[in-house]
Amino acid sequence: MVYPPKVAKEPPLLERGPIAWVRRNLLSSPYNIAFTILGLAILYMIIPPFVKWAIIDANFVGHSKADCTGNGACWVFVKEKLNMFFFGFYPHDQIWRPELVIASAAALGAFAKFVRGLHPFKLLLIVLFPIYAFVLLHGGSFGLPMVETSKWGGLLLTLVIASVGIVLSFPIGIILALGRQSKLPIIKSLSVFYIEFVRGVPLITVLFMASVVLPLFFPEGVNFDKLARALIGITLFEAAYVAENIRSGFQAIPKGQYEAADALGLSYWQKMALVILPQAIKVTIPNLVGTFISLFKDTSLVMIIGLFDLLAMVTVTANDRDWLGMDTEGYVFVAFVFWVFTFSMSLYSKRLEKKLDTNNK
């Protein structure tokens, strides 16, 4: 007699899917059950009132504070001040310029993702984009009226500071990390002193020094741009943290990798560029992204030296006599914008980690 083949049955519903996840993570012990109930109670006290204020009773239509009635949020304020939140004091008739820069950056990102590898044309576009963006934003050439950096503000200024700080601090941090690993006493001592000194000083102090002390080193009559001073201070500050992240990656590389590179007859720079550094960067991706996320959030500190980033624009717009008392809606909106960017950076880092993971391949 021929028996039909046995078909494996799926585990019971209580052992798979969402129910199993809840049992394992939320109801696995009396302590977990107690903390789960406490967490649900806290969420119940916070989420329904917030949803009622932000959505159910909120005001979305109108053009003035008088159009906001009831106890809900007045999102009319955010709608009316959206250009200031995004572009600060940039001339209204020239807003198309930052909009074009943002659209170009998005197009370049899509093109870079479409064209894989180190294609020469892609590298050329990436190198030329900062020049193109500065010329378009600042003006003063090609028939574009000049817009001083003091008028840049809002999300535009936040993105400029964060992107420049990330791009410039990364190579400087690598050089400092290599200097700290160097066997030359002078180079190692200078690198260690710089890294430890900067990491022991608050960013606010660095910004004050960049804004007040740095111009003293230039000849009399030289007017050094305030935004440039902030960029220099933030870049040099973040480079110290990047250096420590890269150094931790060096220490995580097995000693055999160094010995294998030496056995192949590679020079110091070939060994670092082709063998050690790529592995160190891969290992430190989570730490590096965490540092860059902190940099993105720390851009709000530039308002202490007179630059109006996204967060500072809330204070400026809320001081408008026609919109007094509307700062809560502005802060909620800014918090949401910051969350979108930082969460996107976190998701991209996880995707990059998975893409570069070669341990199980």
Give per-residue pLDDT as tens, 301-322. 888 888 888 888 988 888 888 8
Q: Is the pLDDT of residue 361 over 50?
A: no
For residue 211, count other CB atoms closer than 10 A to its CB.
20
Domains of the chain: 13-56 (no CATH), 75-90+147-356 (1.10.3720.10)
Euclidean distance between CA atoms 8 and 1, whole angstroms: 21
pLDDT digits over 174-188, tens only?
A: 999 999 988 888 999
Measured distance CA(5)–CA(65) in Å, rounded:
74
Give the pLDDT confidence score for residue 15 in this predicted structure. Answer: 63
Q: Say what the pLDDT of residue 109 is.
A: 82
Q: Average pLDDT, stretch 269-284?
A: 87
In whole angstroms, what is the distance from residue 276 CA to residue 258 CA?
7
pLDDT, position 169: 92
Tell me the pLDDT tens digit for each residue of 22-41: 777 787 788 888 888 998 99
> How confident is the model over 75-123, as pLDDT tens digits?
888 888 898 999 989 998 899 999 999 999 888 888 877 777 666 777 7
One-letter amino acid at 171 equals P
Position 95 scores a pLDDT of 92
Q: CA 315, CA 168: separation in Å to the nearest integer?
A: 30
- Answer whether residue 5 shows pLDDT above 90: no
* Residue 190 pLDDT > 90: yes
Angle, alpha carbons 298-299-301 (nearest 5°): 75
Q: Which two tokens stand for residue 31?
A: 């302590």
